[in-house]
Amino acid sequence: MAKFDGQIAIAHLQEKWEGKPCPMCGVGNWNVNNSTFQLTEFNQGNMIIGGPVVPVIPVVCNNCGNTILVNAITAGVIKPESEGVK
């Protein structure tokens, strides 16, 4: 799990989301996780060695729990280390 400065993600979301509320409950109280996680390509339950990886930051609505995944590279919190990272 890669940790990062959560303020970078918050600044990105403030600029791009412009204070928009949660699309599920209408409340705008968000929690930004300071860890990145990864999405990997689905292959019928089999692990793909060397396959593409998408690093994501979970952003959770504190009211209803709706979770939105934001691309960590696009948000500027991490740099891609290899061509397999998108």
Structural tokens at position 5: 């400065």
- When mean pLDDT is compared over 22-36, 40-54, 58-72, the highest value belongs to 58-72
pLDDT for 85 equals 56
| pTM of full prediction above 0.85 | no
CA–CA gap between residue 61 and residue 70 (Å, rounded): 13
In this structure, what are the phi and psi dihedrals at residue 14, rounded to the nearest 5 degrees?
A: -65, -40
CB 9 within 8 Å of CB 19: no
